[in-house]
Structure 1
Amino acid sequence: MYQETPFYKALTGGEYPIIVSLARHDLDLAKAALDAGATAIKTHLNAYHRATGTSFGSFSEERPFFDKLAKLGCPLLVMAGQETVPSSEEMAALAELGFEGFNVYIDHMQPHLLQSPLRPMPALSTTSTPEVVTSIANMPGCIIEASIMPFERYRTAMTDADLERYAAVVSAVDVPVIVPSQLELSPHDAKRLREAGISAPLLGAIVTGDTPRSMHQSVKQFAQ
């Protein structure tokens, strides 16, 4: 149903690609990430980003940036929204721009999103039960984002118990699992996550900072 893209093959083939989530829609941030070794870029729509306090607008509002971002030629992912999500027509337009995956919390998943050409990347929450995790993994072709840390844990160090929680998600499913940097992940943490079966780290502002310089320095450390 979904394209077997080089990015998806990297996720399923153990290559451990680096995904970067932009702190704001800034082309220089995206270029810095890619130059430092990132594989894919994740952007946002219809959302308030808790880690940075940034609000992202509708598809029509963000379209000018997406047009520029698409010209970079890298794999693109989109956090599609919260209570408000793109229409079927907007999802088709995102696919035409080269976006290959979309991400929403499972509570915000709407049926028409699953009819789009974009591969679903449902996000778990802090309250996701093992039964919920298993049911999400039954979604054909999906990638799971393990956003399982409560807000009060943001920007804290990863513990052994955290690693065990991530590993438990991996062992419960047979689809790729990515881990967003809700915690203050280090390159060593990323190595441990890989050993636990995580398919890719998703590095956001907590790790990368919000300047091209900090982005480049951080991503380069992870890439090495």
Structure 2
Amino acid sequence: MNNFCKIFKEKKFVLISSLPENNPELAKAAVDSGTDVLKVHINVVHHASGTAFGSLAEEKTNLEKIISVAKNAGVPVGIVPGAKPGIGPCELNPLVGMGFDFFSIYAAHLSPTGLVLKEIGKMVALDSSYHPYEAKFLAKMGVD
């Protein structure tokens, strides 16, 4: 069981901080303030903050620093890998190698092949177009 999944077994309430930019100082502030989990982004425009996140290559230096800050504090780190349909192992495998504990993605953007990755946790979000009974099948499909 990875650190991302383990924290939900250990705590009744889990605080996930979604950083408004991939800034190591923001990550440190969140960790120092007691966040349980950090979440960063690439290849997406974050609607809540209005931030346009760059590619993995563009964001890599800051992401590595954020992972270091979090790991030193024992805080799992996840990543939103993008917002286009069909995201699968080609996009996700490099994230595993960097040390991310999980990815966070809308179901409509995830290729089913992304669910076969055992080395990384999977947080999959459903929007209002999904029926509640569909959520029950996510765990059976490998979503954490």
TM-score range, shorter chain: 0.7 to 0.9
Name the structure 1 match of 2:54. Answer: 57
**Which residues of structure 2 form unaligned runs of 5+?**
none
- Tell me, in whole angstroms, the C-alpha distance in 1 between the residues paired with 2:84 and 2:35: 30
Identity of aligned residues (%): 30
How far does the alpha carbon of each residue in 1:174-209 deviate from its partner, in whole angstroms, 9 at most, with x for none? xxxxxxxxxxxxxxxxxxxxxxxxxxxxxxxxxxxx
Distance 1:51 1:128 in 2: 22
Assess, with a 3 A threshold, how the Cα gap between structure 1 residues 57 and 87 changes in structure 2: closer, same or farther.
farther
Is 1:83–2:84 an aligned residue pair?
yes
Higher relative contact order (CA 8 A, sep 6+): 1
Change (3 A) 1:99 1:53: same
Aligned AA for 2:25?
A: D
What secondary structure is seen at the aligned counterpart in 2 of 1:9? helix
The residue that corresponds to 1:23 in the other structure is 20
Match of 1:11 among 5, 8, 12: 8
Question: Shift of residue 120 of structure 1?
Answer: 1.4
Q: Are 1:30 and 1:41, in contact at CA under 8 Å, matched by a contact in 2?
A: yes
**The one of 26, 31, 34 aligned to 2:31:** 34
**SS of the residue 1:12 aligns to:** helix
For structure 1, the residue ranges without an aligned partner over 5 or more in a row are 144-224
Q: Contact between 1:79 and 1:103, CA under 8 Å: does it hold in 2?
A: yes
Residue of structure 1 aligned with 2:139, choices 137, 140, 143: 137
Change (3 A) 1:84 1:60: farther
The AA in structure 2 aligned to 1:19 is: I
RMSD: 2.0
Deviations 1:25-84 (A, max 9, x none): 111111000001112110011111111111112211211111111211131101111116
Q: Calculate the TM-score normalised by the size of structure 2.
A: 0.84
SS of the residue 2:64 aligns to = helix
Higher Rg of the two aligned structures: 1
- Alignment: residue pair count: 139
Is the CA contact 1:77–1:103 (under 8 Å) kept in the aligned structure 2? Answer: yes
Q: 1:15 to 1:92 in 2, by over 3 A?
A: same
Contact 1:45 1:80 in 2 (8 A): yes
Counterpart amino acid of 1:59?
L
State the Cα distance separating 1:90 from its structure 2 match: 4.4
